[in-house]
Amino acid sequence: MILLATDGLTTKRTRRHSCLRAAGLTTLVLLAVTDLLIAGANGNTLWSLFLLLSLGLAAVLWPPAKRPAWLTPQLRASLPAGFSLALTAVSQTTERTRALGPGELAVLLCLLVIAVRTCPPRWTGLCAALTGGAAVVAPLRFLDATAAEDVLLFTLPLAMLTGILAGLGIYLRSLDHRRVIAVAETRRSERLAMAADLHDFVAHHVTGILVQTQMARMMATTGPDRLDPVLAGIEHAAAEALNSMRLTVGILRGGPEETARLASGEGRPVGDLTALGELVDGFGGPIGPKAELHRDTSVPRNLPREVQAAAYRVVQEALTNVRRHAADATEVTVALAHTDNTLHVTVRDNGRGAAPMPYVARGGGYGIVGLTERVTSLGGELRTGPRAEGGWEVMALLPAVPRAS
């Protein structure tokens, strides 16, 4: 019967849980029929007991997917419990209502767990008191016909069982609360991951499009014969931006499989140290400042995937910021080194802060925030600041123990 009170579980149930739930439902219905048979055999009034059991079974067994909005947990718990308390009160004056069986008690105890677990906080105590109290005082219906000591033999165990099931309801409520928090945290981490993807990849390519478009406008009058490479660069950057957006939107529109792929990092636009060369080579475009990649021989090729991805994002964001904030830079250097199981990623430029871009295209600081979160999550450190000889420097220190071959 306890399983009947645990409605609202996750939709992916195992076959074993389904079988146990079906067995619990069948048992509860059989116990309710037993109540009616006992009442009929003792000459008690059946209509009141039938109404009570019908209300209780409906409150417990109504499928959540088909349950109307007005049938709230507090109404489901309080209506049968209130009717049971009324029968207990009336039984002191009418002997024909002195009927009590295992079905009614089982329904009330299931509703107790439901009330403690699912009722809104301000209703939980009241509904728990109604359902638990109705179950505990139900044996008092026989107080006039039976010795008080005999009634207490039923009342005390019921009180203990009521306390145990109330504790179970509190435990299930805490599990539900933890589950809600876990789901919210998972969704938040997914949103942050997708926001990072959009920022790192789409913003990088769109910034390149903007810079090259500005160049194309200047060259339209001074060197129209050299426009084709610039337009080709714009076309390539636009295609890459659309591809990154397509991957991210595909995850947003997908179901559980796409969510699992996002959590594992599959299907998302990623990069590694192998792709770093192409990123650096394509930075300047046909007329922009050329970036150089210096990879020390100490850098292993079998670094962990997450470390390589973080290094790629650091370089990508640093190059994007050069376009945004140091368009006058003539030298951009990307250096990789590996010492003491730490990957050193350094990006330097010699710009002086000239940024002919519109203000809205210069970013809002989310890139550095995202990089800091990404680097520190791996146990690393991110340092940014001006260079003594002019320009800017971004350095990331990433713990990087090579994987076993």
Residue 336 lies inside a defined structural domain of this protein: yes
- How far out from the chain centre does Cα 139 lie? 47
The enclosing H or E element of 343 equals strand 342-349
Query: For residues 289 and 333, what is the distance between their CA atoms, to the nearest angstrom?
Result: 11
- Split at pLDDT 50, 70, 90, the class of 172 is very high
Query: What is the per-residue pLDDT for 354?
Result: 58
Instruction: Average the pLDDT over 374-386 and give the result.
Output: 88
* DSSP at 265: T
Residues in CB range of 47: below 8 A, 6 or more apart: none
- DSSP state string for 142-198: GTTTS-HHHHHHHHHHHHHHHHHHHHHHHHHHHHHHHHHHHHHHHHHHHHHHHHHHI
- Split at pLDDT 50, 70, 90, the class of 7 is very low
276 and 141, same structural domain?
no
Instruction: State yes or no: pLDDT of 345 exceeds 90.
Output: yes
Average pLDDT of the chain is 78
Residue 240 lies inside a defined structural domain of this protein: no
Residue 243 lies inside a defined structural domain of this protein: no
- How far out from the chain centre does Cα 88 lie? 47
Of residues 374 and 18, more confidence is placed in 374
Which domain covers residue 112, as residue numbers?
2-146
Query: What is the per-residue pLDDT for 123?
Result: 92
Instruction: Average the pLDDT over 72-81 and give the result.
Output: 91
Entry pTM:
0.56
Instruction: State yes or no: pLDDT of 326 exceeds 80.
Output: no
pLDDT tens digit sequence for 248-298? 666 666 555 555 554 454 544 557 888 888 888 877 666 567 788 999 988
Query: For residues 91 and 130, what is the distance between their CA atoms, to the nearest angstrom?
Result: 18
For 46, 113, 132, 152, 187, the CA distances from 81, given in Å and listed in that order, are: 18, 13, 8, 20, 39
Query: For residues 125 and 169, what is the distance between their CA atoms, to the nearest angstrom?
Result: 12
Last residue of a domain, one of 111, 126, 146: 146
Query: What is the per-residue pLDDT for 162?
Result: 92
Last residue of a domain, one of 78, 113, 146: 146
Query: For residues 336 and 52, what is the distance between their CA atoms, to the nearest angstrom?
Result: 76
Query: Any idea which of 132-146, 186-200, 324-338, 377-391 has the lowest mean pLDDT?
Result: 186-200
Query: Is the Cβ–Cβ distance between 117 and 5 less than 8 Å?
Result: yes
Percentage, residues of the chain above pLDDT 90: 20
Which CATH number covers residue 336?
3.30.565.10
Instruction: Average the pLDDT over 190-197 and give the result.
Output: 67
Question: Hunting for tokens 């007329």 — which residue is that?
Answer: 287
Residue 178 lies inside a defined structural domain of this protein: no
Residue 358 lies inside a defined structural domain of this protein: yes
Instruction: State yes or no: pLDDT of 307 exceeds 70.
Output: yes
Query: What is the per-residue pLDDT for 268?
Result: 47
Total number of domains in the chain: 2
pLDDT tens digit sequence for 211-261? 667 666 666 666 676 666 767 666 666 776 777 677 666 666 655 555 555
Residue 255 lies inside a defined structural domain of this protein: no
Residue 210 lies inside a defined structural domain of this protein: no
Last residue of a domain, one of 146, 167, 182: 146
Query: Any idea which of 8-12, 157-161, 190-194, 304-308 has the lowest mean pLDDT?
Result: 8-12
Residue 302 lies inside a defined structural domain of this protein: yes
Query: For residues 343 and 298, what is the distance between their CA atoms, to the nearest angstrom?
Result: 10
Query: For residues 47 and 24, what is the distance between their CA atoms, to the nearest angstrom?
Result: 25
* Paired tokens of 390: 């002019």
- Split at pLDDT 50, 70, 90, the class of 184 is confident
